[in-house]
Amino acid sequence: QVRLAESGGGLVQAGGSLRLSCAASGIILTPNSMGWYRQVPGQQREFVASINRGGSQNYADSVKGRFTVSRDNAKNTVYLQMNSLKPEDTAVYYCHVAVHWGQGTQVTVSS
């Protein structure tokens, strides 16, 4: 059974940083795509960033230059380093690995 364990969310002031982690267990093959989405209550879940097995990264325009996605293939873990956080980054962040979703971790940025 695949399990995604997220950590690293919390409360931070605008301009601050947080690092999210997502460790995938129960996966036999190294997944190609690993990444992050976020969702604000009442809104659709939106793409944030992804990285493939070869290290190619994609970002939403709203986070380019501020967020960095990375992965450790040996640990089946994906990270999201979030710098220069803004109040509009406040959301529940979900890890996405292959077709699986994490439980979500809250990120709150105060102004």
What letter represents residue 16's amino acid?
G
| 100 alpha-carbon distance from chain centroid | 13
CA distance 71 to 93: 16
Average pLDDT, the chain: 95
pLDDT in tens, 19-59: 999 999 987 777 889 999 999 999 999 999 999 999 999 99
Is the pLDDT score of 91 beyond 90? Answer: yes
State whether residue 73 is helix, strand or coil.
helix
Tell me, what's the pLDDT at 30? 78
Going from the C-alpha of 4 to that of each of 21, 24, 60, 66, 102, the distances in angstroms are 10, 5, 22, 24, 5
Pair 103, 4: CB distance under 8 Å = yes
Judged by DSSP in three states, 33 sits in: coil
How much is the pLDDT for 22?
A: 96
Summarize the confidence of residues 67-83 as an average pLDDT.
Answer: 96
What pLDDT sits at residue 29? 78
pLDDT at site 95: 97
